[in-house]
Amino acid sequence: MRLLFYIILTFFTWTVSAATIDVENIRIWAAPENTRIVLDLSGPIDHELTKLNDPFRAVVDISNARLKNDLSQPVDADRYLRRLRSANHEDDLRVVLDLKKFAIVKSFQLEPNKTYGYRLVIDLSSDDNQETDVIDENTKSIDEILAPRDVVIAIDAGHGGEDPGSIGPSGTYEKDIALILAKKLVAKINQVHGMKAVLIREGDYYVRLRDRIDKARKHNADLFVSVHADAFTDPRVSGSSVYVLSQKGASSEHAKWLAAKENASDLIGGVKLEDKDDVLASVLLDLSQTASLEASIDVADKILAGLKSVGKLHKRRVESAAFAVLKSPDIPSVLVETAYISNPGEEKKLRSPSHQEALTSALLAGLEAYFRFNPPDNSIISQYRSLEYVISRGDTLSDIASRHRVSLSSLRQANGLASDKIRIGQKLIIPLSGS
Ligand SMILES: [Zn+2]
C-alpha cells in the first residue's frame, strides 16, 4: 500500500514539473510610489530574478514556461518601466524589464483566489518612499503652529488595482465606485472653509491597508474615512452601513463576515501577511485605541444620520468589527459601506451620478455635524463654531440648507439674506443652530 502511494506521489510530482506553464496575461499597476507587474500563470512556477546595472534591468527567468499572449503593454508613462521584453530559451521563458532608473525589485508568487489564478508579482519601488510627504514641524514658526488650522479628513477609496473588491451583478467593480465617491467627497470637503481633505488612493492601484493609515498620519489627519460598496451572498440585501473598529469582537455575524472579507484585501492586493511587526503593533494599538474609538463611534453616528436622508440603512446602529484598515490608534476611523453592490438596484444607483452626488452630500453633512460639535483644538472650526460655505455652480439656498441640516430661515438669518438669490463664489456662514 505504502509503495503504491509513493509511486502515485512520484508520478504526480513528475507531471507537475513536466507540464509547461502558460503565462496568460500581464497587468501593470502604476501607483505614485511603486509599480506592480502581475503575470497570470496557468500553474505554480519556478523562477529566478536577476538585477543588472548599466543600464538598469530586471531579468525574470521562468522554468518550463511559455508565453500564451503577447506581453507588450504601453509603459511610456511609467515611472520605472521603460520596456518589457520576453524570449523563449529552450523550455524556459525569460522576461526582461528595462528600467528608466534604479529601482528596488522584488518578486513573489501568489496562490489563486476568487478573482485570479496563480500569479507572479514583480514590484518596482524606490527606497526614498519613507521620506516623501513628511511634514517637518521644525521648519514651522511658532505663529504658524499656533495659527488656526483646517480640520484634515483622510478619504480612502477601498481596494484598487489587483484587488477589485466586490463585483456587482452587471460587472461594476467596488474599487471603481469607491474611487468615484471618494473623489467627489474630497471635492465637497475642500469647498468648506475650515476643512481639508486628503485622498488616500488617487488611482487604480493597490495600497496596503497599513500604508493607507500611514499616509493619513503623515498628513496629520483628524479623521480617517474608508469608502466601500458592500456585497453579500443574498442579492436582496440592501442599504448603507457604517462601521467602527472593534478589537473585542464583531457586533454581528454579518459584520464579522464583512471584516474578514475586507481584511483579505491585502492578500488579493498581493501583500504577504507575514510582517513580524504586526504582533507588536497590535499590542500598542490596544493601549491607545480607546480614546479614538469613542470619537469614531460619534462620527459614525453622524454619518449614519446623514445617509438616512438619501436611502435605506442596512442597520440603524453603527456596527463594529476588526477591520484592519481602521486600526489606527490615534486617528478616529470609520468604514462606510455606501450600499450593496451585489443588489442589482443598488448597483445601478451607485453608478448614477445623481445618486453619487446625494451620497457624498450626505457623507459631508455627517462629517460637518461631527466637527461642528467636536472641533479639534486650534482648528478654524473651533474658533467660529460655524462653517463657511463657498457657493458653486448649481447650488441653491434650500439645497445648501438641507445638505447642512439647518433650516432655510436660520441660514437666511445668519447671512442677512432678504431673498434666496445667491451667486457663485459667495461665502455663506452655516450656523450651528438649527441642526
Ligand atoms: Zn470593500
Q: Provide the β-strand partners of residue 109.
A: 120
Distance of CA 351 from the midpoint of ligand 1 (Å): 16
Distance of CA 25 from the midpoint of ligand 1 (Å): 25
Residue 135: per-residue pLDDT: 47
Q: What torsion do the CA atoms of 229, 235, 241, 246 make, to the nearest 10 degrees?
A: -90
Distance of CA 227 from the midpoint of ligand 1 (Å): 8
Coil, strand or helix at 80: coil
Distance of CA 205 from the midpoint of ligand 1 (Å): 14
Distance of CA 167 from the midpoint of ligand 1 (Å): 10
Distance of CA 373 from the midpoint of ligand 1 (Å): 29
Distance of CA 164 from the midpoint of ligand 1 (Å): 9
State whether the Cα torsion 169-174-175-181 is positive or negative.
Answer: positive
Residue 91: per-residue pLDDT: 87
Grouped pLDDT means (10 residues each) for the chain, 435 residues: 48 55 86 86 90 89 86 77 85 89 87 82 74 50 75 94 90 96 96 93 89 89 90 82 71 72 66 42 44 77 84 79 71 87 93 94 88 83 73 89 81 78 86 50
Distance of CA 376 from the midpoint of ligand 1 (Å): 29
Domains and CATH numbers, the chain: 19-130 (2.60.40.3500), 151-266+276-373 (3.40.630.40), 386-430 (3.10.350.10)
Q: Which of 39, 265, 286 is nearest to 156 (CA)?
A: 265
Distance of CA 279 from the midpoint of ligand 1 (Å): 24
Distance of CA 188 from the midpoint of ligand 1 (Å): 22
Specify the DSSP class assigned to residue 163.
B
Distance of CA 265 from the midpoint of ligand 1 (Å): 8
pTM metric for this prediction? 0.69
Distance of CA 243 from the midpoint of ligand 1 (Å): 12
Distance of CA 94 from the midpoint of ligand 1 (Å): 36
What is the C-alpha to C-alpha distance for residues 32 and 22, in angstroms, rounded to an integer? 30
Distance of CA 160 from the midpoint of ligand 1 (Å): 10
Distance of CA 204 from the midpoint of ligand 1 (Å): 14
Distance of CA 322 from the midpoint of ligand 1 (Å): 14
Distance of CA 158 from the midpoint of ligand 1 (Å): 6
What is the C-alpha to C-alpha distance for residues 402 and 10, in angstroms, rounded to an integer? 72
Cα distances (Å, whole numbers) of residue 302 to 125, 177, 354: 39, 22, 22
What is the C-alpha to C-alpha distance for residues 347 and 169, in angstroms, rounded to an integer? 8
What is the C-alpha to C-alpha distance for residues 279 and 73, in angstroms, rounded to an integer? 40
What one-letter code names the amino acid at 27? R
Q: What torsion do the CA atoms of 367, 371, 373, 379 make, to the nearest 10 degrees?
A: -170
Distance of CA 174 from the midpoint of ligand 1 (Å): 7
Distance of CA 85 from the midpoint of ligand 1 (Å): 35
Distance of CA 182 from the midpoint of ligand 1 (Å): 13
Distance of CA 31 from the midpoint of ligand 1 (Å): 19
Cell 477601498, located at residue = 158
Distance of CA 327 from the midpoint of ligand 1 (Å): 16
Q: Where are the beta strands (DSSP E) in 42-187?
A: 47-52, 57-62, 65-67, 81-89, 92-99, 104-110, 118-125, 151-157
Specify the DSSP class assigned to residue 130.
G
| CB-based burial label for 353 (10 Å; 0-12, 13-18, 19+) | exposed
